[in-house]
Amino acid sequence: MTEPPAVARSVSGLPPAASAAYTAMIGDLLADYSALPVGAPVRLAKATSNLFRIRADTSTPGLDVAAFDGVLQVDPVARTADVLGMTTYEHLVEATLAHELMPLVVPQLKTITLGGAVTGLGIESTSFKQGMPHESVVEMDIVTGDGRVVTARPDNEHADLFFGFPNSYGTLGYALRLRIELAPVRPYVEIEHLPFTDERGCAQAISDIVDSGQHDGRSVDFLDGTVFSPGEVYLTIGRFTDRAPYTSDYTGNRIYYRSIRQRHRDYLTVADYLWRWDTDWFWCPLALGHRLVLVFGGSGSAEAVGATVHPASVPAL
């Protein structure tokens, strides 16, 4: 490194205590960064990862970012949150739901982090309206390869970094703080599973919902789908509601994906809806001979969604 590391200045809009704590964390991180052997590859040392691949070389120490899991501030009036870059969505959602708000997009797994989803192009069932996680980022503090921490916004001198960051997977730097937009929630989500025997019919229904934002004359808040086999496809429509006649619980032995075939309509608390896929990670088991299921949810027709299709191996239903 040729220049002394720049420590982040106070963050506009943050309470002084949070700003001071954050600035101290940045100082510690940059000291760790400076201590890495010259020329050594830099990698994140953190508790969770959702990249299922073995690292070729872990002989050099990673950058310890464990402290960067937390929400600095939720501003219920501006509907924004200042979030540390390695904050898991579990922690982020917990902090925002306390204010009856949620991130505009919440990926399926609690352990995905905000920084990981922004740099790795997350997606979920609000994406047909809200886009991807990086599209609700207002600004980011990023530590760059030359040991500086810069605040990248769409309208400042670091705009190129701001717009280049999504899909860069840590190659342009690591996001340490992100200010993101939030959306209001209601207590429950009513879901409807619509069966299709023909993928074209399903794709047309997706297009219609994306175009109109509605189904059967009612507004749609969430949209995803599940493919059990080429002739058995379900679209799942979710709508916020203030009341629910009952709520289902798929956090234990009852398996959410099985309910898709069994129930036409269902009700979940908002939190249980957001984590409906998290309990069993049904698409991850690798055992051979299991049936293939695809889950999709996104910003257009099944073809246009592309990146949102998750191939899945699951036990026979």
Ligand X SMILES: Cc1cc2nc3c(=O)[nH]c(=O)nc-3n(C[C@H](O)[C@H](O)[C@H](O)COP(=O)(O)OP(=O)(O)OC[C@H]3O[C@@H](n4cnc5c(N)ncnc54)[C@H](O)[C@@H]3O)c2cc1C
The residues of the shown chain that bind ligand X, judged by CB under 6 A, are 44, 48-52, 85-86, 107-109, 112-113, 115-117, 119-120, 122-124, 169-170, 174-175, 284
- Give the shortest CB-310-to-ligand X separation in angstroms: 6
- Give the shortest CB-88-to-ligand X separation in angstroms: 8
User: Which lies closer to ligand X via its Cβ, residue 25 or residue 123?
Assistant: 123
User: Which lies closer to ligand X via its Cβ, residue 74 or residue 175?
Assistant: 175
Task: Give the Cα separation of 140 and 176 in Å (integer).
Answer: 7
Task: Give the Cα separation of 39 and 167 in Å (integer).
Answer: 24
- Give the shortest CB-22-to-ligand X separation in angstroms: 14
- Give the shortest CB-217-to-ligand X separation in angstroms: 30
Q: Which residue has the tokens 């390869």?
A: 145
- Give the shortest CB-85-to-ligand X separation in angstroms: 3
- Give the shortest CB-114-to-ligand X separation in angstroms: 7
User: Which lies closer to ligand X via its Cβ, residue 23 or residue 48?
Assistant: 48
